Amino acid sequence: MGKNLTQGIEKAPQRSLYKALGMTDEELSRPLIAVISAKSDIVPGHMHLDRIADAVKAGIYAAGGTPFVIPSIGVCDGIAMGHAGMKYSLPSRELIADSVEAMLIGHAFDGAVLIPNCDKIVPGMVMGAVRVNIPTVLVSGGPMEAGVVKGHKVSLSTMFEAVGATQAGKMSRDELCYLEDHACPGCGSCCGMYTANSMNCLMETLGIALPGNGTILATSAERLRLAKEAGKLIMKAVADDVTPKMILTKRAFLNAVACDNAIGASTNSVLHLIAIANECGIELTYDMFRAAADVTPNLCKLSPATEYDMDALGKAGGIMAVLKELSRKNLIDGNVLTVTGKTLAENFANAEITDPEVIHTCDEPLSPIGGLAFLKGNIAEEGAVVKRSAVRKEMLKFTGTAKCYNSEEEAVRAIMGGEIKEGNVVVIRYEGPKGGPGMREMLSPTSALVGMGLDASVALITDGRFSGATRGAAIGHVAPEAAAGGKIGIIRDGDKIKIDIPAGKLDLDVSAKEIAARMKKFKPKEINPSGYMLRYSYLVTDAPHGAVMKKKF
């Protein structure tokens, strides 16, 4: 594509603009590579991406290409959490995809290296690259180191839970302040198996990123070497014309779904895998995830469920060791192509588990079934999702009394104000893709419940979603959402709600006659967004379809 702008007398005006950038004729004779970086000064996971981009550029130059760094936006979910800013988090994925598409086509690049790190930036960049379908490699900025307080590893999720603990009188303000100073020691994506790290691990599995992408620390020299390799590798992909759609096949996505369950990844990974597959023309459904969860053992339990972090996973053998172990039970198709030019099986051939406490074997798994669970019932006729591996055993089956709130803010005030008691099911609605709009993460209320010691006796359901840092009986993605007329909108305070995660059930314990009567009178709450969010609320699909934009309207 780049030669379309750099060759021939008719392209002299374009060449003059390249030369205004300081480009030489020799540089313009080489493949032109976009280095799409989410570097910013506001996101800890992105603050160092200029160093990663420089390493990628070095690799591209060394392999005979000409790199150009171009920017991407990125919302920090941790900073956006608990206020209106979180409404823009998931919708920003679509903006990122659109901007990647626009920049790659607008400048006729020959190839692209994607440098995201956090949450929805990873899938957003891949979605845009798939649309253009030029050779693409992804290399993330890497996970943050864990903080250490009193000999224990701490992280962002510790901070959110500490708020509830302080409110409940279990932690002093001075202790909270000390924790605040030490929980997040430096750059990188937050250190547990949260959404960012989940997605970066799954990029390895999909084959669009190099082995180690999800686990090598942001501060490690090895991360810079990985970035240089990515820069060199994109030149090979351009020469061989290996494009994303050749790599992101249905078999590759089913591998990712299996890995997702094995590592106990964030529930957000379900949204994002479905969204990326959609761009590839591949249908992924909850039923496919459920089928994989039923046969895939849970091999890893990482932060927030334990103190094991991403660094521990990497040192134990990383994602390649997980995939090799799953392949022993024929749960991974190793014949799929990857950006390395090798098959996935060739990538993990030399991997091994070096710490069986961090990566369990299929013969001695943490659980014989996967880390994610998918529920259905009269509340969630189209489905709901929960991170089963982060739910306490006593909460896997639970019947509780509903306490209903029409926004996250209302629920947080109730939790912090002591309104929630043992035996309650907190219901948060009008937080779905359309109703939020934006499908906010509910880390603040779930963390407050954990911090106040209620995670063993209180559940939470929402048509919104959860951070990967969430633990407890937190059931999200309830569909249809309240704004679309879903039955979560007719639940009343005092209603009984039955949760049976092993059986995949989520039901309102009210007669069918009463439900029908309530639905007849039900009118969803009006929402009045403006700007981008107005367009988003009109065009967004539901959670089971990845909360992507409608292609026809």
3-state secondary structure of 111: strand
What number of CA atoms fall less than 13 Å from residue 240's CA on the CB side? 17
Task: Dump the DSSP string for 242-264.
Answer: --HHHHS-HHHHHHHHHHHHHHT
C-alpha 166/C-alpha 450 separation (Å) is 12
CB 195 within 8 A of CB 266: yes
C-alpha 463/C-alpha 480 separation (Å) is 8
Cis peptide before 304 (omega within 30 of 0): yes
Cα dist. 524→383, 432, 486, 508 in Å? 19, 12, 9, 18
Q: Find the helix or strand (DSSP H, E) in which 500 lies.
A: strand 496-500
Angle at 403 between CA 401 and CA 409, to 5 degrees: 155
C-alpha 419/C-alpha 416 separation (Å) is 8
Chain length of the chain: 553
Q: How many helices (H) and strands (E) are present in the chain, helices listed first?
A: 22, 14
CB atoms within 10 A of CB 381: 14
Task: Dump the DSSP string for 251-308.
Answer: HHHHHHHHHHHHHT--THHHHHHHHHHHHTT----HHHHHHHHHHS-B----TTSSS-
Beta bridge partners of 67: 33
3-state secondary structure of 337: strand
3-state secondary structure of 147: strand
- Catalytic residue from among 389, 467, 530, 537: 467
Phi, psi of 306 (to 5 degrees): -140, 180
C-alpha 545/C-alpha 528 separation (Å) is 24
189 catalytic residue (yes or no):
no
Token code pair at residue 488: 């979560």
How far separated are the first and last CA of the chain, in Å rounded?
31
3-state secondary structure of 3: helix
273: Cβ–Cβ under 8 A, 6 or more apart, which residues?
Answer: 123, 202, 253, 256, 257, 260, 284, 546
C-alpha 450/C-alpha 170 separation (Å) is 12
Spatial CA neighbour of 314 closest among 220, 248, 185, 209: 220
Could you say which DSSP state residue 370 is in? -
- Residues annotated as catalytic (active site), given as ranges: 467
